[in-house]
Structure 1
Amino acid sequence: MDVLSDLLHRARARNAMVRKLVQRPPWSLGFVEAPPLTVVATLAGHASVRFDGTDAVPVRLAAGDIALISGTSRYTIADTPATPPQVVIRGREKQVVDRDERAAGVRRGLAPRTYGDGMPGATVLLRGAYELRGDVGDRLLGLLTPTAIVPAGPRTRAALELLADEIARDEPGQDAVIDRALDLVLVLALRAWCAKPGATPPAWYRALADPAIGEALRLVHQDPARRWTVAQLATRLGMSRAAFAARFTSVVGEPPLAYLTGWRMALAADLLRDTEATIATVAHQVGYEDPFAFSVAFKRCHGAAPSLWRRQTRRPDATGPK
């Protein structure tokens, strides 16, 4: 599994919430306590995204454009920046603010996961909400600015059309199909965003374009618990130890074992937060035979011992082996 796929797989919760809105102007949806990452796309018509409580300039989405919103938990999507909120959505709950009949139409079901009035000339909008998890999720979000706008393109448009078609279906395995279609839209949008002129994605993403270093990153992510050495990685790539270490450091921005340790500590933090696995088990799962050595490395990275970190960051719904 390549690095971007690994991050998406480890960071996200299943069954992402995806909805389609078909609405004539004027319309406005306010989102409160929005998830860490939202994919918003305009299939027909246009939309405006404004960021409540900030001085940020609203952004306009034309047909086929995609917005990846990660820098705020409160924003409004509307036909124009001036349209006042008609409906406020908090999580999966909708509250009608404007009692006008047209505003209430946002709640009218047209098909599975599809709402609005469905009239000719309406704006057609897709919204997919990602609940990303922990330190690994933060690495994925590190690819983006708070709001990344990806202009319409042939590849993203085809993926959006597939997602829009599947949203309105209600067949066996539909949740799995929609999950994967949304992931396709997200990955294509991330690629397009990182390839834009002037984009500054993290060094690890740029390193994926280097055949040797990209393969080294894939090996580390495929088996982070393996007792990798610089010499082992260099041998797998057919390079000398010194040449590999120098090239990796130059491309990624840190030495190979420093990257490996950072990735292991991100995985460990999420295991401590989200599961009930013992510290010894977590240590073993991220490549440490000695829990004491793991604790030292974890404290150096996160500023707290694993047991204290767990108490401070514990998720109330954490599950896992005792």
Structure 2
Amino acid sequence: MDVLSDLLHRARARNAQIRQLIQRPPWSMTFADAPPLTVVATLGGHAAVRLDDDPQTAPALLATGDIALISGTHQYTIADAPGTPPQVLIRDGRKHVIDSGTAAWQNLAPRTYGDGLSGATTLLRGAYELCGDVGERLLGLLPPLAVVPAGPRSRAALELLAAEVAQEEPGQDAVLNRLLDVVLVLALRAWCARPQAEPPSWYRALATPVVGDALRMLHEDPAHRWTVAELAARVGQSRATFAARFTGVVGEPPLTYLTGWRMTLAADLLRDTEETVAAVARGVGYEDAFAFSVAFKRARGVSPSDWRRNVRSGWQVGS
């Protein structure tokens, strides 16, 4: 499994929620308690996206086929135009009408609402709940608001997703989630491929011969007792040449990258499971729980047990 696929697989905490809006302008929806990552695509008409708690980020305008990726914000608004006053607030999954003059949005089909009339904007929205530290690494690819212009490959995926979203057949959720993943990956690729993009060094390294292969091996089996010599042998280079090339592309030596990835996985295991510290240590490649605890404290500033206690206490306070 390649590195981006590994991150997407590990970061998915629960199924994405997918909804379709078919509504004539003017319309406006504000989403409070925003999820970590939202995918918005305009299938027909146009839309505007505004981050309500980030005045430094300018509103984005979406034409037909454009995709917006929204992350790192608590509240955002999607409307037919930047100046449309707020009409509806979505909080905790419930709709609250702000403008009493707003026409009622009806359920038109499964996962589809609006008025469905001629001249309507058609919009798809998929909300991801991402998991823990792996999710944070994935979100590191993006600014708070990224807009990917329409393209032939994403357009085909969006058309297929739109055709499925209003259906109600066996296995529908599985189909929709996989199609949304396709849209997300295409959008991430397109965003990171822009000349002015500044993706993390590990992402740029994925397309680099030798280094990309090494990263794939580290992610496929992070618990393996890797050495620089073994990695170099597997990619067909000398130890010194491989180490220098990996460090130059990724920005850190191979085993330093591996340790960071292991600590990311360990943090999520401590957060999400009841495994003992010793079991977590073995799961990420440490036979010695003490050595793991030292490495974890060096990376996170606290011991594994204290980190687990602190993060779970924080969940309870915020719940």
Superposition TM-score tier, normalisation by shorter sequence:
over 0.9
Counterpart Cα distance in 2 of 1:101 and 1:261: 54
For residues 11-160 of structure 1, what are the structure 2 equivalents within 5 Å?
11-55=11-55, 56-102=57-103, 104-105=104-105, 108-160=106-158
Counterpart Cα distance in 1 of 2:213 and 2:58: 40
Moved more, 2-11 or 234-243: 234-243
User: Quick one: which of 231, 246, 249 aligns to 1:248?
Assistant: 246
Q: Deviations over 1:91-126 (max 9, x none)?
A: 422112223352x21xx1111101100001100000
1:267 maps to what in 2?
265
Counterpart Cα distance in 1 of 2:267 and 2:149: 36
1:175 maps to what in 2?
173
Offset of residue 54 of structure 1:
3.5
1:222 maps to what in 2?
220
What residue identity is the alignment partner of 1:35?
A: P
Counterpart Cα distance in 2 of 1:13 and 1:70: 16
Counterpart Cα distance in 2 of 1:117 and 1:21: 9
What residue identity is the alignment partner of 1:83?
A: T
Q: Closer, same or farther in 2 for the Cα pair 1:202/1:101, shift >3 Å?
A: closer
Counterpart Cα distance in 2 of 1:68 and 1:75: 12
Q: Closer, same or farther in 2 for the Cα pair 1:99/1:305, shift >3 Å?
A: same
**Percent identity between the aligned chains?**
72
Could you say what secondary structure the match of 1:40 adopts?
A: strand
Q: Closer, same or farther in 2 for the Cα pair 1:198/1:69, shift >3 Å?
A: same
Counterpart Cα distance in 1 of 2:253 and 2:58: 40
Counterpart Cα distance in 2 of 1:166 and 1:99: 33
What residue identity is the alignment partner of 2:301?
A: G
**Do structure 1's residue 9 and structure 2's residue 9 form an aligned pair?**
yes
Counterpart Cα distance in 2 of 1:91 and 1:268: 30
Could you say what secondary structure the match of 1:29 adopts?
A: strand
- Given that residues 54 and 73 in structure 2 are in contact (C-alpha distance below 8 angstroms), is that contact kept between their aligned partners in structure 1? no
Counterpart Cα distance in 1 of 2:258 and 2:93: 38
What residue identity is the alignment partner of 2:28?
A: S
- Given that residues 42 and 122 in structure 2 are in contact (C-alpha distance below 8 angstroms), is that contact kept between their aligned partners in structure 1? yes
**Do structure 1's residue 296 and structure 2's residue 297 form an aligned pair?**
no
Q: Where does the alignment leave 5 or more consecutive residues of structure 2 unmatched?
A: none
Counterpart Cα distance in 1 of 2:213 and 2:165: 36
Q: Deviations over 1:198-224 (max 9, x none)?
A: 111110000011121111000000000
Counterpart Cα distance in 1 of 2:310 and 2:83: 42
What residue identity is the alignment partner of 2:44?
A: A
What residue identity is the alignment partner of 2:309?
A: R
Counterpart Cα distance in 1 of 2:167 and 2:154: 20
Counterpart Cα distance in 2 of 1:248 and 1:57: 37
Q: Closer, same or farther in 2 for the Cα pair 1:296/1:29, shift >3 Å?
A: same
1:257 maps to what in 2?
255
Q: Where does the alignment leave 5 or more consecutive residues of structure 1 unmatched?
A: 318-322
What residue identity is the alignment partner of 2:21?
A: L
Q: Closer, same or farther in 2 for the Cα pair 1:17/1:91, shift >3 Å?
A: farther
Could you say what secondary structure the match of 2:210 adopts?
A: helix
Counterpart Cα distance in 1 of 2:91 and 2:12: 20
TM-score by length of 2: 0.96
Q: Deviations over 1:64-106 (max 9, x none)?
A: 000000131111000111111111112422112223352x21x
